[in-house]
Amino acid sequence: MSRAVLSAGANVGDARGALRTVVDGFADELVAVSQVYATAPWGGVEQDDFLNITLVVEGNRTPREWLRRGAELEQAAHRTRDVRWGPRTLDVDVITVDDDGPVRSDDPVLTLPHPRAVHRAFVLVPWLEIDPDAMLWTPAGTRRVDDLVAALPSAEREGVRPAGRLDAPTPTDTSSGTAR
């Protein structure tokens, strides 16, 4: 039995609907899912804001099987990988896997824990919402996620904006007047 933390994001088409497919796709193994957060894109590519969620799942899967299931959901959403850190119909990342302790892997296909998770408020803030005692292994040792969030620049933390729950009506983005 393994427990995994997954991060999902989308900013093309029906992003909220794409995130729903992730929750539905892991429904039998779902322990917790965060509310939806809107965030500015990461990586310097001009594009719309993302909607993001973090999930905690538990089941009889290996780390590669968690990754494979996420990739299947991305394929079903017609995910393309044209531009690194570019717009996406759906992105599902495995952040960490615990199987009687944190799984560590330097495999280029699946590096665990996710090597950039400690720098990404859009992963850490939603994770902290659903697991206030969350811990993440880092090269400097195992760290509390709330400490990692506190160490991020305030602009990064404040850029992760609550955007409602998946089962709630779609909120309106007041800056552009469009639904997100």
> In this predicted structure, what is the pLDDT of residue 46?
83
> In this predicted structure, what is the pLDDT of residue 101?
84
Length of the chain: 180
Least Cα distance to 133 among 47, 2, 5 occurs for 5
Domain 2-162 has CATH 3.30.70.560: yes
Give the number of other CB atoms < 10 A from CB of residue 127.
Answer: 29
**pLDDT tens-place string over residues 112-146:** 999 999 999 999 999 999 999 999 999 999 999 99
Placement of tokens 């497919």 in the chain: 21
How many angstroms separate the Cα of 21 from the Cα of each of 11, 97, 179? 14, 21, 19
**pLDDT tens-place string over residues 82-118:** 777 778 899 999 999 999 888 999 988 998 999 999 9
Cα distance between residue 10 and residue 138, in whole Å: 26
Least Cα distance to 103 among 133, 51, 66 occurs for 66
